[in-house]
Amino acid sequence: MAVPKSVHWVLLLGIALGVAGCDTISSLNPFDTTSRYKQELLPDVPPETLYNQGLARLQAGDTVGAAKAFGDIDKQSAFSPQAKKGLLLTAFAHYEGRRYDEAITASRRFLTLHPGDKDAAYAQYLLAMSNYNQIPDIGRDQERTEKALVSLQELVDRYPRSEYVQDARERILFARDQLAGKEMTVGRFYLQQRNFPAAINRFRDVVSKYQTTRHVEEALMRLSEAYLALGVTAEAQTAAAVLGHNFPDSPWYRDAYALLQSGGLEPREQTGSWISRAFRGFTRTVGLSQ
């Protein structure tokens, strides 16, 4: 129901009277700057003092306080001798405190400002490990695993002589295995739902991208199973043949062989198949990764 104009005037008059009862109308204005606030500028703490404070807090296990002290050097004295090392220690303090996103930010800033520094490899390692330590279980989204893989590979590629490379290579294997495992989980689900084309796409990714992982044997067997269900016998035979050639003692090969035999077929490789092409040079690739 509309409010009569006379009532509007009564309301406005009441507000005016209420304001008149206050000290000033400006006291109701949250943006009024004529108040009694007095700004005080605190003097900057010398960078060497902040640096020593950061080290002391880091040694005491106060990673939050240490990160703040080291971070203040960058804010107050960005061109001081302590600034570069303080930025790296900011990343380290956050990493030690398991504040991985903050560690990533600080590491990236160090790499942006000092890409050729002798400690750049360590900054890249902190960045990579901050992603790696957030890898979720295999049933969840693997975006963080992909980021870990990229940052670990960047460490290997950019700093091949650094002391962190061997550890990075081992963690790359785990990250790749994790990504392959996720594809297998989704592929098995589609296989159970008899959505064979979708299942094949997942197993194909494992065969094409993650040949050196422990999941590739099962992926080949599942490809044989899915192709056979679709009546694409040539690809089913090729998947089994490639599996037998590269992993002759695998229990997955025995399963694939038995599956083909149940349909009156045997493993037979079609060299023009994408599966056959994907495994050309496979032995040489495995040898390099060992």
- What's the burial of 109, exposed, middle or buried (CB within 10 Å: 0-12/13-18/19+)? middle
Q: What is the pLDDT of residue 132?
A: 97
CA distance 185 to 205: 12
Q: How would residue 11 be classed by pLDDT, with cut points 50, 70 and 90?
A: very low
pLDDT at 34: 52
- Which pLDDT does position 39 carry in this prediction? 52
Average pLDDT over residues 269-277: 93
pLDDT in tens, 241-271: 999 999 999 999 999 999 999 999 999 999 9
Q: How far apart are the first and last CA of the chain?
A: 81
Contacts of 126 (CB under 8 A, 6+ apart): 91, 92, 95, 103, 107
Percent of the chain topping pLDDT 70:
82
Which residue's structure tokens are 């901050």?
130
DSSP state of 4: P
Give residue-wise pLDDT tens across range 218-236: 999 999 999 999 999 999 9
Specify the fold of 179-279: 1.25.40
What the block records as the tokens of 142 is 């693997």
pTM, rounded to two decimals: 0.76
Q: For 126-165, how does the pLDDT look when each residue is reduced to its tens digit (9 = 90+)?
A: 999 999 999 999 889 999 999 999 999 999 999 999 999 9
Q: What is the structure's pLDDT at 125?
A: 98
Closest by alpha carbon to 83, among 95, 71, 92, 94? 71
| Residue 73, Ramachandran bin (φ over 0: left; ψ between -120 and 50: alpha; else beta) | alpha
Domain boundaries, the chain: 179-279
pLDDT digits (tens, 9 = 90+) for 26-36: 444 444 545 55
In whole numbers, what is the pLDDT of the chain averaged over residues? 85
Instruction: Phi first, then psi: give them for residue 73, nearest 5 degrees.
Output: -60, -45
Q: At residue 177, does pLDDT exceed 80?
A: yes
- Amino acid 47: pLDDT: 82
Looking at per-residue confidence, does 75 or 31 come out higher? 75
- Distances in whole angstroms, Cα of residue 174 to Cα of each of 81, 114, 135, 181, 212: 39, 30, 10, 10, 11
At 155 the pLDDT is 97
For residues 34-57, average pLDDT: 73
30 by DSSP, 3-state: which?
coil
- Residue 230 half-sphere exposure, CB side, CA atoms within 13 Å? 19
Q: What is the structure's pLDDT at 150?
A: 97
